[in-house]
Amino acid sequence: MAAVLTSRRKPVNVTHLLAGTLTYIMLIIVSLSMLYPFIWMFTTSLKQEYAVFEFPPRFIPETWEWVNYATIFKAAPFMTFLKNTVFVTGMVVAGQLLVCSLAAYAFARLSFKGRDIIFIIFLSTMMIPSEVTLIPTYVMVYKFGWLDKYAALIVPGLSSAYGIFMLKQFFLGLPKETEDAARIDGCSELRIYWNIIVPLSKPALATLSVFTFMGIWTDFLWPLLVTNTSEMRTLEVGLSIFRNVYTTNWPLQMGASLLVILPVLIVYIFSQKYFVQGISLTGMKG
């Protein structure tokens, strides 16, 4: 019996086993190299002010200064920066989902004169660097009287060529039979969009939400230009001001930086699949 079981066992491929082991070792090394800066940032945020300049540098702090995080909230209006960032990011994400999905539905499902030409012109704006449109957009915001207001932070980001292009590609892959049946029953285009297209497009909308969230949350240059007071600053701009005030207190700077990037890391960890979908959706035919 033992001989029969032994004969049925598959022979171990030493080459494949060795290759798999080396692959995992390399992945572990790369992962640790990526995690090391964040671990160093965390440990540095818990050090005493002058312990950062010790030589040789100490990775694990001698005393854990948890009070540094309380000092961060006392030294700067951190909660105000957080409130502004959450509000602006939420409004821009909601606005892009609405505006981009409506525009994508028009380009993908409606027939009107010059549709393809308009879409090509619109799509060509993706090749223009954002720095080129920075000054004209700023001039428009200034003439509208939106400087140092939420409108300046929200309205310019309510639409994106990438979001419209991605959603259009996804809409083209949806079956048209359900829409045709709805039109026969007398449904309007707006109702078809809201009751049929939107429910079927949750993966694409979630992908756009993730990309928009990360872009707006980490945006620095535009909020720096259009805000003048600390009451309207976002986290990224507030962090730069905090760094100017505490030019030598690296533990406080590292702690503030960690608090800023922590939401982005959490969103990225729980939404990695949507990044893959974002790449695959833009490669769909249509």
In a domain, 170, yes or no: yes
CB-based contact 155:146 (threshold 8 Å):
yes
Say if residue 13 is in the same domain as residue 154: no
pLDDT at 9: 58
Type of residue found at 64 = W
Say if residue 33 is in the same domain as residue 163: no
Q: Which two tokens mark 36? A: 């090391």
CB-based contact 157:95 (threshold 8 Å):
yes
Q: Would you say residue 157 has pLDDT above 60?
A: yes
Last residue of a domain, one of 65, 85, 113: 65
Say if residue 16 is in the same domain as residue 143: no
In a domain, 119, yes or no: yes
Q: Would you say residue 171 has pLDDT above 60?
A: yes
Q: How many of the other CB atoms lie within 10 Å of CB of 119?
A: 19
In a domain, 286, yes or no: no
User: 3-state SS of 50-111?
Assistant: HHHHCCCCCCCCCCCCCHHHHHHHHHCCHHHHHHHHHHHHHHHHHHHHHHHHHHHHHHHHCC
Identify the DSSP state of 159. -
In a domain, 190, yes or no: yes
pLDDT at 5: 47
Say if residue 199 is in the same domain as residue 257: yes
Say if residue 275 is in the same domain as residue 146: yes
For CA atoms 236, 242, 244, 246, the dihedral sign is negative
Say if residue 175 is in the same domain as residue 261: yes
In a domain, 30, yes or no: yes
Say if residue 91 is in the same domain as residue 47: no
Last residue of a domain, one of 17, 48, 65: 65
pLDDT at 144: 93
CB-based contact 284:173 (threshold 8 Å):
yes
In a domain, 98, yes or no: yes
Mean pLDDT for 6-10 is: 54
**What is the per-residue pLDDT across 250-260, written as a single tens digit (0 to 9) for each?**
888 888 888 88
- Rounded Cα distance, 112 and 189, in Å: 14
In a domain, 82, yes or no: yes
How far apart, in Å, are the Cα atoms of 272 and each of 38, 139, 213, 216? 19, 37, 13, 18
Say if residue 92 is in the same domain as residue 60: no
The pLDDT confidence band at residue 183, using thresholds 50, 70 and 90, is confident
Tracing tokens 């429910």 back to the chain, one arrives at 199
Instruction: Give residue 26's domain range.
Output: 2-65
- Output the domain CATH number for residue 267: 1.10.3720.10
- Rounded Cα distance, 200 and 174, in Å: 8
Average pLDDT along the chain: 84
Q: Would you say residue 179 has pLDDT above 50?
A: yes
Q: Which two tokens mark 27? A: 């992945």
DSSP-assigned letters across all residues of 198-266: HHHTHHHHHHHHHHHHHHHHT--HHHHHH--SGGG--HHHHHHHHHHH-SS-HHHHHHHHHHHHHHHHH
Q: Would you say residue 241 has pLDDT above 80?
A: no
Say if residue 104 is in the same domain as residue 245: yes
* 51 phi/psi in degrees, rounded to 5: -70, -15
Number of domains present in the structure of the chain? 2
Say if residue 115 is in the same domain as residue 61: no
Say if residue 88 is in the same domain as residue 75: yes
Say if residue 77 is in the same domain as residue 195: yes
